[in-house]
Amino acid sequence: YFTSGNDLKGSLSQEIPVKDSLNVVKTMIDAFINYPKLLIAVVNGPAIGIGATMAALCDIVYATNKAVFDTPFVKLGLCAEAASSFTFPHALGRSKASEVLLLNYKLSAQEAYQFGFISNIIPHSSLNKFINNLHKHGTIPVKSLTRNKQLIM
């Protein structure tokens, strides 16, 4: 798994005020959006809930052929999280985003690639080599990268 999502049972058993919980989520989303360096996700398996929505907040997303993006919010009686009501229609188009978010349609790596949600599909067997090659992008000048990221938004 890339991530199996939030621990709903654990979250519900804690008495955290809703306002505090929302502040934590807002801080996380802001951190993803405003991160000055390149934010790359490599999804190596099922990305459920927050894992799928976090991927949409990244600058570049790669996935293996074993990746599946699953957003079970509506069937769990929850709202779509982590700005996915904005990022998914932007990345997938309104109709496909509605299918994924409202009907809990699981998006395969192939479909995610076809819709432009991910940049490329990496064979699972080549994953370590691929990740090692990503390190070369760590030398991109931060100031230039930040300014160009702002233009893309």
pLDDT at 43 over 60: yes
pTM (predicted TM-score) = 0.86
The larger pLDDT score, comparing residue 152 to residue 15, is at: 152
- The gap from C-alpha 1 to its chain's centroid, in whole angstroms, comes to 14
SS3 label, residue 80? coil
Q: Give me the long-range contacts of 87-93 (CB less than 8 A, separation at least 24).
A: 87/53, 87/56, 87/57, 88/53, 88/56, 91/56, 91/115, 91/116, 91/117, 92/116, 92/117
Measured between alpha carbons, how far is 58 from 37 in angstroms, rounded to an integer? 11
As a CATH number, domain 8-124+140-152 is 3.90.226.10
Mean pLDDT of the chain: 89
Choose from 14-28, 53-67, 68-82 the range with maximum mean pLDDT: 53-67
Rg value, the chain, Cα: 16
pLDDT at residue 15 in the model? 66
> Considering the chain, what percentage of its residues have pLDDT values greater than 70?
86
DSSP per position, 27-41:
HHHHHHHH-SS--EE
Q: Are 61 and 43 in contact (CB under 8 A)?
A: yes
Measured between alpha carbons, how far is 16 from 11 in angstroms, rounded to an integer? 8
pLDDT at 2 over 80: no
Cα–Cα distances in angstroms (integers) from residue 91 to residues 77, 116, 127, 131, in the given order = 24, 6, 24, 24
